[in-house]
Amino acid sequence: MDECRSITGFLLREAGAVEKPARYLGEEVNSCRKDHSAVRLRCVFAYPDVYEVGISNTGIQVLYELVNRRSDALAERVYMPWTDMQERMAAAGIPLFTLESRKPVRDFHLLGITLQHELTYSNAIRMLRLAGIPVRGEERGEDDPLVAGGGPGAFNPEPLAEAFDFLLLGDGEEAVGEILDLLLELRERGASREESLRALAGIPGVYVPSLYRPVYLESGEVASIERSRGAPWPVIRRVVEDLDRFPLPSRPVVPYLEAVHDRCNVELFRGCTRGCRFCQAGMVQRPVRERSQGCLLRWGVEALEATGHDELSLASLSSTDYRGIGELLERMRAELGGRRVRISLPSMRTDRFSLELAEKLGEGRRSGLTFAPEAGSPRIRRSANKDLGEEDLKSVLRAAYEAGWRRVKLYYMIGFPGETDEDVGSIARSVFSALRGERGEKLAGMRVTVSLSTLVPKPHTPLQWAPQLGMEETRRRQQLLKDVLRSRQVELRWHQAEMSYLEGLLSRGDRRLFPVLLKAAERGRGFENWSELFDWEVWEKALREEGLDPSFYVERERGRDEVFPWEHLSGGVRRDFLWSEYQKYWRGEPTPDCRWGDCSRCGACPRGEV
């Protein structure tokens, strides 16, 4: 209690001295504050980025509400303090604290950190240090919290695996209850930390890194991954088959300041079988599981009424692939009546968009539309299994234009294996062609933002064997587009080559990178995904000191039988299927979407053919 008062006093003193003090105040609308003495298990969910980014994460909101519905447990939240607040906390001796109770994070039983993106990994390390929790799991004592991880990064957490006591692969809605039930039982019988971790490893989807040890060849490749007796092989991700059983948050927390996604989010479905060969989410989230229209209508209206938001986002990997999306939009409009609520689809396929859909979306307040052609070249799109015709983008912009839309964002990537300068230049040609419309006329007043990223091959995808572009070549290809993609109608944005390179390093890295992460987290300022704070020289120096060549992880093509650092972790799709898809990439052969045709025998569907 004394430390809680000390933290409150610190906030009162420092509120006027830091940027956006509302990040740290807590007490938001719909936040849940429970009596710590009335529960047996205290959890805190952490997002390793600044408050206005993390508050938009739906996964944390779902788990937060699920845990707080229980009478025997509570959940609170913490986000990464901005650099100015970190400095003041260090000077005053204030540890990382939660928003709800302002208690130190180290006083909780379970700390769950979501790993949404590789460029937040150094922040995850810094959060442990700010909390006063030993960074290495093996150095923690019986009174330290168990540190858990989840999110996309859990499918290859090896660069920072030593910081976690356990991680959960896949869907968390069912697993979180099983984990809490087991932890309560273990605490009741006074189990040790080691006993608890071995017991947790018995829950499907739970990965305990300390039970596995990589062995390396002289070449630097992984020779094998050894496991302790009784440890599962492989650890198979969790899949919630019936999403309707787990309601979306009915009372999402409403932030005090504008969030990056300042709206209510409703997940239409989970999974994607389009089979884009670069997309990790499309592989590890299979099979497709849709929520019913009735549940979506009820949860959407509840969330809007509980928050006062004026936008409802119908989110999924490809929202327009929801069966009956047009009917759902009509029912949403009827249910919302005359409210000025904008309904948005943040992820849309160009081949599923139409004038009718554009008009339905445009009935409320308008914002921009976003599409992801990914590549301008038909050859590269075929290889990537992104089967879009040359006329699809023209049709999309024409439909949007006729329905009154004037702002569109297009996502493209460079760095596909086998890509030529001609393929890069085709991005500009496709954009300019689309702006002339289907009949060659100019779409006057239409503004297009082209967001250009560099392909980062991800684990558990067909391109996990592929090399990534080096930094110099990335900058050269970016310049090709900068030179030609100039127009009053087009704005080009691109990612720093060094940031994409670091993402690639951590994406397919192994445990030898952990000391590099520790040094970078200590010497840098964190927030590697913020360009104004990113410092590649910090990482270069740490890599040199550890004797590691980053090109080994980033720019090297892997052999068919190479053992990956994540070999013991299963995203559900079989390795031989991924390899066959990689070969199809080079041959430019398509794989049809199994949702609308024959089973592709990928292994992800528990009742499908294997």
Distance CA 259, CA 254 (A): 9
Helix, strand and coil content of the chain, in percent to the nearest 5, comes to 40, 15, 45
| Mean pLDDT, residues 306-325 taken together | 90
441: pLDDT strictly greater than 80 = no
Residue 261 pLDDT level (bands cut at 50, 70, 90): confident
The rounded mean pLDDT for the chain is 93
Residue 6, classified by CB atoms within 10 Å of its CB into exposed (0-12), middle (13-18) or buried (19+), is: middle
**DSSP letters spanning 116-137:** --GGGHHHHHHHHHHHT--SSG
377: pLDDT strictly greater than 90 = yes
Query: Which segments of 357-516 are extended strands (E)?
Result: 369-374, 407-414, 447-454, 490-494
Distance CA 327, CA 230 (A): 50
Q: What is the pLDDT of residue 394?
A: 84
Range name among 61-75, 158-172, 299-313 with the lowest pLDDT average: 299-313
Among residues 433, 600, 385, 410, the alpha carbon closest in space to that of 493 is found at 410
Question: Which of the two residues, 358 and 398, has the higher pLDDT score?
Answer: 398
Q: How many CB atoms lie within 10 A of CB 83?
A: 15
365: pLDDT strictly greater than 90 = no
Three-class DSSP category at 301 = helix
What are the pLDDT digits (tens) for 483-516? 999 888 999 999 999 999 999 999 999 999 999 9
| Mean pLDDT, residues 299-320 taken together | 91
Q: Contact at 8 Å (CB) between 107 and 78?
A: no
Would you state the torsion angle of the CA atoms of residues 387, 391, 397, 400, taken in this order, to the nearest 10 degrees?
-80
Locate 538 and state its tokens.
């910090």
DSSP state, residue 162: G
Three-class DSSP category at 390 = coil
Range name among 505-514, 529-538, 601-610 with the lowest pLDDT average: 601-610
Distance CA 538, CA 502 (A): 11
Distance CA 456, CA 414 (A): 10
Q: What is the pLDDT of residue 358?
A: 67
Q: Contact at 8 Å (CB) between 460 and 419?
A: no
366: pLDDT strictly greater than 60 = no
- What are the strands of the beta sheet with 311-315, ordered from one edge? 264-267, 311-315, 342-344
In what helix (H) or strand (E) does residue 483 lie, and over which residues does it extend?
A: helix 471-484
Any residues with CB less than 8 A from the CB of 574 and at least 6 apart, and which?
602, 603, 610
Residue 608 pLDDT level (bands cut at 50, 70, 90): very low
The dihedral through the CA atoms of 190, 194, 196, 198 has a sign that is negative
Distance CA 179, CA 171 (A): 13
Any residues with CB less than 8 A from the CB of 58 and at least 6 apart, and which?
248, 249, 265, 267, 315
Range name among 127-141, 342-356, 369-383, 410-424 with the lowest pLDDT average: 342-356
Distance CA 419, CA 443 (A): 30
| Mean pLDDT, residues 586-598 taken together | 90
Locate 414 and state its tokens.
């460079």
Residue 346 pLDDT level (bands cut at 50, 70, 90): confident
Distance CA 184, CA 186 (A): 5
Among residues 99, 96, 77, 100, the alpha carbon closest in space to that of 88 is found at 96
What are the pLDDT digits (tens) for 510-533? 999 999 999 999 999 999 999 999
Q: What is the pLDDT of residue 610?
A: 33
Cis peptide before 515 (omega within 30 of 0): no
| Residue matched to tokens 């445009």 | 362
| Mean pLDDT, residues 36-50 taken together | 98
Domains, in order of start, for the chain? 2-232 (3.40.50.280), 243-495+573-587 (3.80.30.20)
Amino acid at position 353, single letter: F
Q: What is the pLDDT of residue 91?
A: 94
Among residues 349, 346, 344, the alpha carbon closest in space to that of 366 is found at 344
440: pLDDT strictly greater than 90 = no
Among residues 136, 141, 18, the alpha carbon closest in space to that of 82 is found at 18
In what helix (H) or strand (E) does residue 115 lie, and over which residues does it extend?
A: none
Residue 342 pLDDT level (bands cut at 50, 70, 90): confident
The whole-model pTM stands at 0.95
Q: How many CB atoms lie within 10 A of CB 203?
A: 17
Locate 128 and state its tokens.
């442990």
Any residues with CB less than 8 A from the CB of 538 and at least 6 apart, and which?
519, 520, 523, 524
250: pLDDT strictly greater than 50 = yes
Any residues with CB less than 8 A from the CB of 280 and at least 6 apart, and which?
152, 155, 458, 459, 460, 461, 571
| Mean pLDDT, residues 61-88 taken together | 97
348: pLDDT strictly greater than 80 = no
Range name among 16-20, 51-55, 360-364, 455-459 with the lowest pLDDT average: 360-364
How many alpha carbons lie under 13 Å from residue 281 in its C-beta half-sphere? Answer: 11
Report the first-to-last Cα separation within the chain, whole angstroms.
57
Distance CA 170, CA 177 (A): 14
What are the pLDDT digits (tens) for 198-217? 999 999 999 999 999 999 99
How many alpha carbons lie under 13 Å from residue 415 in its C-beta half-sphere? Answer: 30
Residue 148 pLDDT level (bands cut at 50, 70, 90): very high
| Mean pLDDT, residues 85-96 taken together | 95
Question: Which of the two residues, 352 and 445, has the higher pLDDT score?
Answer: 445
Amino acid at position 48, single letter: P
